[in-house]
Structures are given as C-alpha cells and as structure tokens.
Structure 1
C-alpha cells in the first residue's frame, strides 16, 4: 500500500552515475512515455547508486525501479502539458539541500566529489535537469493525492476488511509529557541582539546585498545557504503568525522592522508576492543566553520539581510554568508531529528524552534535564512518563492514527492507479521488447 516514492531509497540517488563501479551497459530504449524516454542504463545506474548508498539487495528490484520510472515520466509528461513552472531558485535550493545532506553524512564536499568523480560544479550541473523533473513530477502527484482525506467510517471499513496477516505489528511505544523552562533573557541581552540586528538592517537599507548579509550573519543555517531565501513561494499558514503578519504587509523589495518569534529575532525582505503566496528572505538572530541566565532557569526548574514532589499536579505545573506553548495547555503531553498521536516508538524520540524516560515507571517524573528546544536554545525540561505500550498487533482503539494512515495511503494509491489508467488513454506509450517485458507490474501499462 505504499505510494510511489520518486526519490526512491536515498535522496541523492537521482540517476547520474557515480565514478566508482561505472557499468558497461549495452544501452537500449526500454520505454517511451509521450516525449519522455527511459533507457536501460537509467535503471542500471539507479540500482548501482542505491547499492552504493547502502540499500539492501531486496530493496533493489529492477522491475519496481522500472515501473517507478514509468510513473515518474508519465508525471513529467503531464507537467509539461500543464506548463508547470519550476524556478531556478527552487532547483538550486533542492540541489543545495541534497548536497548538505550528503556532506552531513560523509563529512565533506570532497567526499561527494570523490564519490562521483566530478567537481561540485559538475555535479550540480548534471543534477539540475534531473531534480527539475523530480520537482515537476512531485507537483503533479501532489495535485492527484494532495487533497485526499479519509473519514472515520472509511477507516473502520478499511480495518475490518484487512486480512489478519496484514495487520501491522506495533513496536514498543512511549507516551510522555514535559515542562519546559526557558532561560529568560535580561533586558541587556535582549537589547544587544536587537541592536546587532538593527545594524544589519540599516546596512541592507543602505544598499548592501541582503543575501550576502544573510550568509554572513543569519542563525538560520538552512536558509542562509540560499541567501536567506525561505523556499520558493510560501503561504501564510506555513509561517508562525507574527512572522506572517509582518511579511505579508511588505511591498516587493521592502525590508521589515525587527520581528520577534519563538525562534528569535528576524528581519524579512519581500522578494515577490504572488496571490496568497510570497517569496521571502529573512535574517535570524537567535538569543544566546548567558551562563548566569541559564543557571537562573535551572534554579526555577528545581523549584518547580520541588513543587511536583510535594502536592502540585504535573498538568497544573505545565500550565503555570512551562514555556512551551505547544504542550502547556495539553497537560504537557507531547504530540508526535508526524502521526498526530501522543505515542512514540523509541527511534522517534530524541535521545536525551528517551534516556530520561525509558527506565521510569508510568506516572513517574524526572529531575530537571538541561537540553535544547526546537530553536536550538538551551532549556531545562522535566519529563513525565505517561504510559508504555508493549509490542502488539494494531487495534483500531489503540492505534487509530496508524490505521488511519494505512487507509489514507490505500486511498491515495487507488487514486494514482486510476490517474495512470486515465492518462494512458491519451498518452503515447511504447514498451519495446526488453529484459523488463516479463515484469509483473502493479499497474497495467498499455503498449501502443
């Protein structure tokens, strides 16, 4: 019931051949989809790259790779018909993201260059058309399945119809709550960071390049690599309210005053406004509390812990003292952002948290733990283990979100299957005799 994944097993496997183990393939065209073409070498090279990136043999199935490529080429063909535009900045951003991912794993850009036997510039040049195609395909696929939802009745019917052997085994899960105590910046510390950001803002207003200033000074390392650019076009709903309110008041080219959010202090530049979406750049300076301020937060955390050890209920303490707006009004309960459930498998829990709660009894609390929040600031957290659910077969009562996701994926897959069938009626598809002619595909591909 898995949806097709255009990026396959690894995010960097995009169809160019690595320097090592370059295959010698007697090439042939194995498929034509509209004006798009698939060669045998495309599939062979994809398999080699997957292996080099650590994919297991049972994950490298040539027939599946071929069908995935057929689907992607059909999406790309439709994208060209629909005149779907992909900006250079969007392609650049995705290229940089993938290179950063590789460097994060391998340790240096030199290792990437050695792997491909090409310079960084050559790699980027080769990746560009391939990544552009992937983005085009993703846009079309999003149009097919992006608005699909499942009702509670559909979820129940899906679960009832499941073969018992298809019901997933759910690993051990933890449910926990937290109280977060953030260091409170002194007026002097706050004034200093705002003064520094205002100096950067004045330099931009006087004509210095905003992108260069973002590269030099922004604490948002991801956007800084792209000159402060926040993706391509972003809607209000994708931004925190304070940031969105300031950003969408700007005219094109205008730079905002300093904006404070939970992430720190920002200045924003409006690049282009297109309907309800905007292309934006920003420079972020994050507060860096002094040791004294962190120690004061530690003392407050100790005081809250003492109250909890006395008579204060954890839920009440979270509401009164926690700095985390996402959890304080929910009894401190932490929600899994990927599943929308309060239950977490061990590998999904941040190591510091798992180390703190894994040996607790349900209902027990930890002493204050010095760790980091999502913005990178040092904070103190007190954790409470709510429950531990042993490994078990999924049930609708205990694992509703898991079953919901399975039902949603099946519904999306059916929509994709129907779309493929419909598009084949109006699309030229040629599948010459090849080693893939005997493949048992998931879909019926009509050879015209």
Structure 2
C-alpha cells in the first residue's frame, strides 16, 4: 500500500476509528506521512503531562499534536536510517516510569482506574512511548552530529547577552572519597552459593520456575519484578564477568553455574539470542555483611581520618593506597560528575549520581574538612564504609567564562543543536504528507509549514 493510498484511506474512509451507538470513540486528528495521530493519543499525553506537572505554552490541543507530529518525522527518519535502541534501557525506563506513576497517583489500583487499563496494558502503552522517545533521542543525536566550538565563539555569545539573561549557577562542590568494603565471611559466601545451587536444583526438578524464584528472591530490583528478565542486550552493556557467562549460554533449558560479579553472586538462564544480542534472566544474591566487620572498617577509617587531619598523610595519598573505590582511587579520590564530565556537582547531582548518604554528609562541611567515617550505599548497590573531604565549594553565582566555561559551552552547544534540529524539521515538513482535521487547525503552530497552501 503506497503512502498516498494510506493517507487517502485514513483521511477519506471516515477518520473515525470506532463507533458505539453513533458516538465517536476515537478520531484521527492529524496524519503525518503514513502515520495517524488519534484524539486518544493527545488525551493520553495530556493526562501524563497533568501528573508530571507540565504547563503548556499555549493550547494543549495545539501543542501536543504538533509535538507528536514532530516525533513522527524523527521516527520515520530513524526507520530509514535503521536507528535502534537498547531493549534493556526500554525495560528499565518503563519500570522507572511505572513506579513513578504509582507513587504519584497513590497505588497500582488507582493508576489502573485512572487510565482505565490494567497495569500490564499501561506498561505496554509506556513501552511504545519509551521506545519511541529513546529512538527519537538517538535520531536527534545523529542529525546534530558533533558540534565543535572554540573558546572565542563561547565568549562572543555571552558577551552579547544582557545581564538578566546570564544563567545562575547553583552551589557546586568538589568531593574526594575513600571507601572500604567490609570483609564478607567465607561461610556467608558459601551460604549464598548453596542457596543459588538449591534454586538450580529445584528448577531442574520442575518444582518451580526460574521466573518465580527471581521474583521472590533476586536482589536486583531492576529485574526481580519481571522474573529476572532483561530484554535484548549487547555484550558491551554488561560487566565483563557477567557477559562472559551469559554470552556463553547456548541452551535455554540449562542454567549457568554460580558466578560472581562486583554486584554479588548470580545464576543465569538464556531466553534467546539474536545475532550479537542476547535476552536472558538472572537471580542475584548478595552476601550479608557482618556488623563486626563493618565496625572494623569504620574504626580503620576513623584512625585514617585523624592521621589526615594531623598531617601525617594527605587525603590524596591515602586515596591511592587505602581506598577500594576503583573509579576514584587513581584520581586521588576525586569524584567525577558523569553528566558534566567535570569534578563539580550540584547537591542534587551528588545525591543522584553518587549517593544520598554522601550528599547529606557533605552539605554542612567546610572546605578542606575531612568527615567522620560513615556507612553508605553506592550507586552500584554496594554497602561500604567511607570518609570524604570537601575539596572545594563554589557558591551560587551568575555564570562567568573564567569559572563556568564548560557550563556556558554546553549552553551554546545546546543552542546550536536546537538550531540544527529546527532547520531539519522545516526541511522535512516540505517533503512529508500532512493532513490536519479542520477543527484542529486553528492553532499558532511553532512550525507553520504543517498547513500547505
């Protein structure tokens, strides 16, 4: 069926998707290329925006369908260019968004009542939305490409900004950390391994299923509720130890031997292989840490912190020789912000990317101060003991080239990216069939090219 025929069919075959006693249940309000935008699509987006607290710059019934139309342009190009996204990331984002909705609405039952769908149907709805959103992001990255800016271009842009338009930079901190992992007793490791071997035996005997045991016992919160299942994943998305096991699985009926990663101990089961990607399920168990061992490490760090304060050793040296945090010990314990690629964190970034425990400790520290030892949970789910030093605090201020060059460069880069995307949309409009229901045309669209004379 050609694109023109599809469009004519959608536009002329009644634009009504379903009827009940002559009442319209759904309606095609836009057609973009081969794709229809339904009134229900717009309503769903409006409901989501309502719970997210989003305010529209204009009539939602104008803004939302135009946003959906722009998305159709990106997705059509992504299909042409064979742009794909990770199934694992889709699943993780769906679970995160579902959990957020339940928290906002109050319960799973209230969520189902609000959307008039089962939780499974809601997840499927979110799955498509999430997949489209991630695909659109990848397509945008491809369109924008690599934008290179010189310091002169950044300075020139901000020299022309009026004072009230210069961005305000919230308070930022630079933090060094030393961590120690309490020793896990050998008998506890054996207990965990035995439990996983028992799981394997029960599954092989047909007493239960892998999925059931994963839901009941797995300590991986991202997959336990899905029966331990992860969608299709590339080798590079997994830790080397984990990838070496799951990518060597060949028989879906067999379960791996017990194996160890930095997260704990696992067993895994193959679901399906497709080329260089694999779908699998796993169960993670973490050995329990003995409180006596925790106290041993807290005492060790307390002694170390006192030695640092007395000048017997520097924090930088101690981080290299004592810390067990492999991500920071070779950089004198200095934490790196994965979003900005600098060592500066806003407090909410420190809590989100590193640990809420670290953020709470740092909040009231003075520059150069070394904390008391404390127990924390890392962003990898590890229970460790730590001390931190506040290396620097930059109080909230209006951005300057000398202090905030990277942030200002990011702003200019974002502006150039937006300009590229807007230009691409305008060009794409010219070669795309678009039809808008007459009752949905009375809008001041961001991109006027939708309605062709």
Question: Is the shorter-chain TM-score for this pair beyond 0.5, marking a shared fold?
Answer: yes
Distance verdict in 2 for CA 1:281–1:63, change over 3 Å: same
Q: Could you tell me how far apart the structure 1 residues matched to 2:193 and 2:255 are? A: 15
Q: Which residue of 1 aligns with 2:3?
A: none
Q: Does residue 67 of the first structure (1) align with residue 66 of the second (2)? A: yes
Q: Is the 8 A contact 2:88 2:233 kept in 1?
A: no
C-alpha distance in 1 between matches for 2:25 and 2:329: 63
2:172 and 2:393 in contact (8 A); partners too:
yes
2:377 corresponds to which of 352, 368, 372: 372
Once residues 173 and 91 of structure 1 are traced to their aligned partners in structure 2, the CA distance between those partners, rounded to angstroms, is 32
- Whether the 8 Å CA contact 2:88–2:232 is kept in 1: the answer is no
Task: Report the TM-score, using the length of structure 1 for normalisation.
Answer: 0.81
How big is the shift at 1:250? 2.5
How far the C-alpha of 1:204 sits from its partner, in A, is: 3.8
Q: Could you tell me which residue of structure 1 aligns to residue 347 of structure 2?
A: 346
For residue 60 of structure 1, report the CA deviation from its aligned partner.
7.5
- CA displacement, residues 383-439 of structure 1 (integer Å, 9 cap, x when unaligned): 100111122233444334423433443344344334434433442111344455341
Q: Residues 349-364 of structure 1 correspond to what in structure 2 (within 5 A)? A: 349-350=350-351, 351-364=356-369
Q: Give CA deviations for 1:84-117 in whole Å, capped at 9, x if unaligned.
A: 899999977765443222234455312323433x
Question: In the alignment, what sits opposite 2:20?
Answer: none
Question: Deviation per CA, 1:32-79, whole angstroms, max 9, x where unpaired?
Answer: 112323355644553354234433466985543232111123344556
Answering whether residue 428 of structure 2 is matched by residue 423 of structure 1, we say yes
Distance 1:57 1:34, change over 3 A: closer
Range that drifts further, 134-143 or 53-62: 53-62
Q: Is the 8 A contact 1:145 1:415 kept in 2?
A: no
Answer whether contact 1:183 1:379 (CA < 8 A) is retained. Answer: yes
Partner Cα distance (1:90, 1:349) in 2: 23
In the alignment, is the contact (CA less than 8 A) between 1:76 and 1:137 conserved in 2?
no
Q: Tell me if 1:439 matches 2:444.
A: yes
For 1:441 and 1:245, the matched residues in 2 are separated by 50
Go from structure 1 to structure 2 and tell me whether the alpha carbon gap of 1:157 and 1:258 turns closer, same or farther (over 3 Å shift): farther
1:417 match: secondary structure: helix
Q: 2:306: which partner in 1?
A: 306
Tell me the number of residue pairs that the alignment of Structure 1 and Structure 2 aligns. Answer: 421
Establish whether residue 177 from structure 1 lines up as the match of residue 176 from structure 2: yes
Structure 1 stretch displaced more, 335-344 or 68-77: 68-77
**How do residues 34-433 of structure 1 correspond to structure 2 at under 5 angstroms?**
34-39=33-38, 42-43=41-42, 46-56=45-55, 62-78=61-77, 95-116=94-115, 118=116, 121=118, 123-125=119-121, 128-129=124-125, 131-132=127-128, 134-136=130-132, 138-146=134-142, 150=146, 153=149, 157-158=153-154, 160-162=156-158, 163-165=160-162, 166-206=165-205, 208-230=208-230, 232-253=231-252, 254-310=254-310, 311-350=312-351, 351-433=356-438
Aligned counterpart, 1:5: none
Q: How far did 1:360 drift?
A: 2.3
Q: Deviations over 1:347-381 (max 9, x none)?
A: 22324323322332211111111222224343221
**Which runs of no fewer than 5 residues in structure 2 stay unpaired?**
1-22
Q: Which residue of 2 aligns with 1:18?
A: none
Equivalent pair of 1:79/1:137 in contact (CA under 8 Å): no
Kept in 1, the 8 Å contact 2:250–2:270? The answer is: yes
In structure 2, distance between residues paired with 1:408 and 1:250: 44
- Give the distance between the partners of 2:24 and 2:368, measured in 1 at CA: 62
- For structure 1, the residue ranges without an aligned partner over 5 or more in a row are 1-23
Counterparts of 1:354 and 1:133 in 2: how far apart (Å)? Answer: 33
Which protein has the bigger helix share?
A: 2
Write the distance in 2 (CA, Å) between the matches of 1:60 and 1:290.
59
Q: Secondary structure at the match of 1:153?
A: coil
Is 294-303 or 136-145 further displaced after alignment?
136-145
The CA deviation at 1:164 is: 1.6
Residues 143 and 421, structure 2, Cα contact 8 Å, conserved in 1? no
Q: How far off is 1:301 after superposition? A: 1.8
SS of the residue 1:283 aligns to: strand
Change in CA separation of 1:90 and 1:319 when aligned onto 2, cut-off 3 Å: closer
Structure 1: distance between partners of 2:104 and 2:232:
29
The CA RMSD measured in Å over matched residues stands at 3.5
Q: Matches of 1:205 and 1:309 in 2, distance apart?
A: 57
Provide the rounded CA distance (Å) in 1 between the counterparts of 2:392 and 2:377: 24
| Larger Rg over CA atoms | 2
Which string of whole-angstrom CA distances, capped at 9 and with x for unpartnered residues, describes residues 94-141 of structure 1? Answer: 65443222234455312323433x35x2x5336635642552453254
| CA contact 2:74–2:140 (8 Å) conserved in 1 | no
**How many Å apart are 1:312 and its aligned residue?**
0.9
Shift of 1:271: 2.4
8 Å CA contact 1:177, 1:384 repeated in 2: yes
Mapped partners of 1:146, 1:74: distance in 2: 14
Deviates more, 1:137-146 or 1:82-91: 82-91
| 201-210 vs 334-343, greater mean Cα deviation | 201-210
- Paired with 2:233 and 2:448, the residues of 1 have a C-alpha distance of 35
- Distance (whole Å) between structure 2 residues aligned to residue 298 and residue 282 of structure 1: 33
